[in-house]
Chain A
Amino acid sequence: MVLPWFQYAAPQRFYGLAGRLYPFCFVLAALLGAVGLYMGFFVAPTDAQQGEAYRIIFIHVPASWMSMVIYCAMAFWSALGLGFKTRISGLMAQALAPTGALFCFLSLWTGALWGKPMWGTWWVWDARLTSELILLFLYAGYMALTRAIDDPQRRDQAGALVALVGVINVPIIYFSVKWWNTLHQGSSVSMTQAPSMAHTMLWAMLGVTLACWAYAVGMALYRVRGLILQREHDTGWVQALAQSQAKSLNQENPAESGAGA
């Protein structure tokens, strides 16, 4: 049986699908972000211990989650690419990396700005913070490596290896607050227990988290379109796309085409 979604593993199909999906993702991200931030700033009450400083949680936790989720997604696509030789898998992993790196940086940045007023320090070498910093280095290493290799197949394979080896770090980050004595607090929201925070706070955080998901998916789909065009630049369908675009540009601006020829 041929599963219907396998046809989207073909780069041309996936290019079209991604083009239809990414605008919805960005609209969804804007709506969810607006709702989440409104709840976070105007509905959620002041924290009894931390005053208003705790409101950093509404971006710090979503950013941190995204930094881990996106690395896991890269590892997933990498495994798919190595196992099934699907053509877009490596490109999806590469399309996700910059967004993951951004969220990882934002997690560290917002954490520092939260740590200063609450702990009295911007940074401490405890297990949670250090393992998150290692994640940022993994992202940077992945991006530097994949961009340094010109051969497409070797690029995908080398990147997949880094993604799959580095993903070991994600559970280390997640469980670091349990395994070691950290200055960083334990999780306020866990998969096994009822969350230890007010409901409005929780909903605000979930709203922003979903917004970040939608943003990350939209960004990856947008970026993978460019990567597909680059990878498939000598195929007929990409050449035809480029020709039709060049033609329509020439019609809009004939003087420029004369100068450029």
Chain B
Amino acid sequence: MNWANSEAFWAMGGYGLYVWGSFGVVAIGLVAEVLMARRASRQIWRNLRDEVSDNQAP
């Protein structure tokens, strides 16, 4: 085990800002991409449903 306690873990030997700044932004980026892709998918479905309901009710 590398870390004596949780404080040492978050401090990263004085490089906490850089290490967590890296991994944190990666996490934010991945979550943001998933959310954006889901939103895009929902919009596509909405457009498709509107399209078929327009076709059905002339």
Contacts and interface: CB of A to CB of B under 8 A. Distances in A.
A23 to B, nearest CB: 13
B58 interface: no
A60 B22 contact: yes
Contact of A246 (B9, B33, B44, B49): B49
Interface in A207-226: 215, 219, 222-223, 225-226
B2 A51 contact: no
Task: State the main secondary structure of chain A at its contact with B.
Answer: helix
B19 A52 contact: yes
A102 B13 CA distance: 29
Contact of A51 (B13, B22, B33, B40): B13
Contacts of B49: 242, 245-246, 249
Nearest to A240: B52
Nearest to A101: B33
Which among A59, A60, A113 has the greatest number of chain B C-beta atoms within 10 A? A113
Contacts of B22: 56, 59-60, 109-110, 113-114
Contacts of A46: 2, 13
Nearest to B48: A242
Contacts, number: 102
The contact size tier of chain B is 20 to 34
A143 interface: no
Given A53-B13, A246-B53, A219 B48 contact: no
A22 B53 CA distance: 29
Interface of A: 41-46, 51-53, 55-56, 59-60, 63, 98-99, 102, 105-106, 109-110, 113-114, 116-117, 215, 219, 222-223, 225-226, 229-230, 233, 238-239, 241-243, 245-246, 249, 260-261
15 contacts: A41-B9, A55-B12, A59-B23, A98-B37, A102-B29, A106-B25, A106-B26, A109-B22, A110-B25, A113-B22, A229-B45, A239-B55, A242-B51, A242-B52, A261-B57
Given A41-B9, A114-B18, A225-B41, 11 more contacts: A45-B2, A46-B13, A53-B12, A53-B18, A98-B36, A109-B22, A110-B25, A215-B30, A229-B48, A245-B48, A246-B52
